[in-house]
Amino acid sequence: MTASTADALTQAPVWVWACCAGLAGGVAVARDPGGRRARRLMGSGREEWWGSTMGTRLRAVLVGRREWLCAPAAVALAALGDSVLPLLAGALAIPFTRRWLRRRADSRKREKATDAVTSLCGAVAGELRAGREPGQALLVAARNAGALGSAEPEVLAAARFGGDVPGALRLASAGPGLEGLAGMAACWRVAVDGGAGLSAGLVRLEGALRGERRRREELRAQLAGAWSTVVILALLPVMGLALGAALGTDPLAVLLHSTSGLVCLVNGGILEAAGLLWASRIVRAGSA
């Protein structure tokens, strides 16, 4: 083995850690809304490719199976550390990552449904002010809103044929993020039974829903710093391993092939997981 080959093998862990850090930075930039806007303005060709049939299929596969990205990372660590422990850790991380991704997707769907209900209230109020009947206004406003969930056929049928629209709206409000439909049903019931103005009630309901959305956004912005701190603290052990590799040591060999290293690895992993769970619970309690 020549000296240049030996130097290249010695520097391999450093390059691997650098690539991992670069990928982490790329993921952070990809999640930045400003970065996404800049890419849309300057990379229209790529956006067109992503919108094509092949791009759509590839994107669906990548988005639907993102938890399997733990596998190549585990394989790389297993190859660098010459141990099967990273493979076992990667296999255990896949279901937890899938659960976390599913929870995030459900949260995004819930917020999207809440925004759709808010827009539906404003659209129905606008149609009522234009002179339409309540049932016809709901039919027109719900045509492109997508705010009624799986109960949309029942609600539209009740609005079209003079059925129990408040009851149908209340049933539809059981879906995630559709709680505002219960308020819409109450406004509809009061307007039908008491003769009150439905348009005025829907306008007030829309204002309340938009105020709740602004409160969530402000709270999310205030908690962004706390989440950043949690992420940085979680990455400190990885940065320590990368620093050790850059200094010429072999931290993976110590952690994976010695008794004291395995004890430190297990205890550190338990403390890391406990710290992340504790910090996440504190942040979630603040956002509740």
**Each residue's pLDDT tens digit, 178-212:** 888 899 888 888 887 665 688 888 899 999 999 98
Tokens of 224: 């962004």
* Greatest Cα pair distance in the chain: 92
Q: Running DSSP on this structure, what letter comes out for residue 149?
A: G
Given a contact cutoff of 8 angstroms between Cβ atoms, the answer to whether 117 and 177 are in contact is yes
Angle between helices 198-246 and 180-194 (to 10 degrees): 180
Residue 139, C-beta contacts closer than 8 angstroms, at least 6 positions apart: 156, 159, 160
* Distance from C-alpha of 201 to C-alpha of 210, rounded to nearest angstrom: 14
* Distance from C-alpha of 169 to C-alpha of 159, rounded to nearest angstrom: 10
Tokens of 127: 């149609």
What are the angstrom distances between the C-alpha of 19 and each of 16, 22, 26, 57, 74?
A: 5, 5, 10, 27, 14
* Separation of first and last alpha carbons in the chain: 60
pLDDT at residue 32, as a whole number = 46
Average per-residue pLDDT for the chain = 76
- Check: pTM over 0.75? Answer yes or no: no
The pLDDT tens digits of the residues spanning 76-103 come to: 888 887 888 888 888 888 888 888 888 8
φ/ψ bin of 83: left (φ > 0), alpha (ψ from -120 to 50), beta (otherwise): beta
Q: Where are the domains of the chain?
A: 1-26, 112-209
